Every structure is written in C-alpha cells, then in structure tokens.
Amino acid sequence: MKVAVVGATGLVGMRMLEVLAERNFPVSEIIPVASERSVGKKVPFKGKDYTVVSADAAIEAKPELAIFSAGAGASKELAPKFAAAGCRVVDNSSCWRMDPTKKLIVPEINSDVLGPDDYIIANPNCSTIQMLLPIAPLHKAYTIKRIVVTTYQAVTGSGNKAVAQLKAERSGKKPGEYEAVYPYPIDLNVLPHIDQFLESGYTKEEMKMVNETHKILRDDSIGVSPTTARVPVLGGHSEAVNLEFEKDFTLKDIRKIWNGTPGVTVQDDPANNIYPMPLYALGKDDVFVGRLRRDPSVKYGINLWCVSDNIRKGAATNAVQIAEALLKKGFLK
C-alpha cells in the first residue's frame, strides 16, 4: 500500500521508516513528508533514497496510511485533511490523545477497541507506553489501586537539538556556544522538568501519564502520582514504578505473567547484577522489567524498574504496530 511518513526527516520519523522496513510492512510506495524547508531532501528506505514532498503533494498521491511524527500543530492541521482523503492516520503527537472521539492505542493492551470508522488513531506518550505494557496484565490480575512513578528520560525525547546540546556540553562547549533546548545544562545534571509546568505544580508530561493511563486501561479509579525528569542519557527511558493492588499476589506469579506478555522481557537477577538499563535497551522493541520486590509499606504492593527505547517502542514501533493491527482487522488493504 502507499504509506506516507509525515515528519520523515525528524528523529522519530527516520526511525519510523526503519521500523516499517524491518517489520516488512506491505509498502508498495513510501511517501516521505516534511515541512516546506525540507521538501526536496532525500531520506533512505530499504536501501533507496526517496525525495521528501509537501503534505499537499502527499495527499494528492492518495496514501492508504499516514504515520505522523511532526508535532501537535502539524497533526491538528494535517491529520483531518489526510483522513478526509480516505487515509488512515496514526499520530505520534499529543494532539489527539485525549480527544474522546479518538482511540489511544498500545496494541498489546487495547487494539480491540479499533473500529472501521477510526481514521485518526493516537499513539500514547513514550513514558506511558513503557509503564503500561508490563502493568496492564497485573491490573487485570490484581486490580491496581495506585501507581507512583518516577521517570528518568533520555534527551532523544526532546529531538535532535537536545541530542546536539548534550554532545556539545560533553565536548566542553559553554552555554552560548550551542543552541540550548533546556533551561539549564543537561550533561552531568538532572532536570526535574519535562514540558510546561501547570498551576498544580505538575508538568504536562506528568499529567499525560495520569490521563493516558486512565484512557488506555479504561479505569479512571486508578490513582497515578508521577514525577518526570530528564537525565543525560542519549536514548532509552527508565522508570521506577510503585504499584499498590487490591488483591494479594506472589512475585513468582508476577514474573510468570510477564514472561507470557508479548513485548515484555524480564531481566531480574540482582545476585548476578542483571537488571534493565537504557544502554542495552537501545535498538530493541521490548520493555525490559526487573528489580521486582515487595513494598513493605503497604499490604499488597510492589516496586519495579522498567526500561525501553523511547524512540522505538515509545514512538515508532508502537505506531507501526497500530498500523499492523489495522491491517489485521481488515481496515487497511
């Protein structure tokens, strides 16, 4: 089928092209799309270079599928135009996630809600995806009352300019000698600040984790208390997650559930220093979980540590998996 990738020259867009190729998605024609300043550039796909075109030119080509990673503003303007032309849109921005008329999908968890009338489908926030993949089956088994999560998020979550800032600082450049994405240096530092602060004192990134968890798990009763931080890691987000359940459990049964959950890999042997780390999650599509232990402060609680490549499962791979779910259901041909 004809597939457009909107935002094809960006960090996530380039990875989307790679994932489409790796997973052998049935692409007959790839249509890379970007802003006017990038039109005419070349991007690679399956060993060939393709010319970037404008959104209008892409719509005229009548793609069956468009995968977006061009920011909320572009998605708000362009996704309805693609959809109106009969194109299924999978959008990686925050634009449509909390729209009650749009589905928010982690395929392993809730692809069952996708229907024939869904022409704009939202891809969740990267931190939400990696947290929910291992805990959704635990909620089904034990009913989660409360989640307390702290994230340690890589600079790739802020795009190419953030990667450039970290590399510039690491090479010894001083503020003013590079374009700064963050309000402070990121190298040798931790910023407890992702996205804009709200009147509540929480950031938009933190509230995404609250609201998206409720929507994806279809349960507004779950308490979610998040803190998100940016760390000087190039790629791969890490999360410390505390869960309180309604029901009792055994750690053995939790590991058994995880071992049977697609997309989850257990790395949990602390005696041999085996636990998830972002350096070793890069380039992989799974969410890696470990450091599983009981929380002694509550009756039915656990702590866990999870890591995932935020550009792959947290963005590009999840979007392609949504497209695969549409294909499997017969909504793409």
CA atoms within 13 A on the CB side of 90: 30
| pLDDT > 90? residue 130 | yes
| Active-site residue, from 87, 95, 139, 237 | 237
Q: How far is CA 88 from CA 294, 321, 324, in A?
A: 44, 14, 12
- In the predicted structure, residue 41 carries a pLDDT above the cut 90: yes
When the pLDDT of each residue in the chain is averaged and rounded to a whole number, the result is 97
User: How sure is the predictor about 18, in pLDDT bands with cuts at 50, 70 and 90?
Assistant: very high
Residue 187, C-beta contacts closer than 8 angstroms, at least 6 positions apart:
166, 169, 170, 232
Q: What is the pLDDT of residues 44-96, one digit of tens each?
A: 999 999 999 999 999 999 999 999 999 999 999 999 999 999 999 999 999 99
Domain 2-124+315-328 identical in fold to domain 127-310: no
Residue 325 has pLDDT above 90, yes or no: yes
Mean pLDDT along residues 15-23? 97
Portion of the chain with pLDDT greater than 70, in percent = 100
- Please tell me the predicted confidence (pLDDT) of residue 252: 98
pLDDT computed for residue 314 by the predictor: 97
Catalytic residue among 87, 126, 139, 306: 126
Reduce the secondary structure of the chain to three states and give it as a string: CEEEEECCCCHHHHHHHHHHHHCCCCCCEEEEECCHHHCCCEEEECCEEEECECHHHHHHCCCCEEEECCCHHHHHHHHHHHHHCCCEEEECCCCCCCCCCCEECCHHHHHHHCCCCCCEEECCCHHHHHHHHHHHHHHHHHCEEEEEEEEEECHHHHCHHHHHHHHHHHCCCCCCCCCCCCCCCCCCCCECCCCCECCCCCEHHHHHHHHHHHHHHCCCCCEEEEEEEECCCCCCEEEEEEEEECCCCCHHHHHHHHHCCCCEEECCEHHHCECCCHHHHCCCCCEEEEEEEECCCCCCEEEEEEEECCCHHHHHHHHHHHHHHHHHCCCCC
CATH number of 127-310: 3.30.360.10
Confidence of residue 333 (pLDDT cuts 50, 70, 90): confident
Asked if 126 is an active-site residue, the reply is: yes
Q: Is 237 a catalytic residue?
A: yes
Average pLDDT over residues 268-292: 98
Q: Note the pTM of the prediction, 2 decimals.
A: 0.96
**Per-domain residue ranges of the chain:** 2-124+315-328, 127-310
Indicate the pLDDT class of residue 207, thresholds 50, 70 and 90: very high
How far CA 188 is from CA of 108, 155, 229, 272, in Å, comes to: 36, 13, 14, 28
Domain 2-124+315-328 -> CATH class: alpha beta
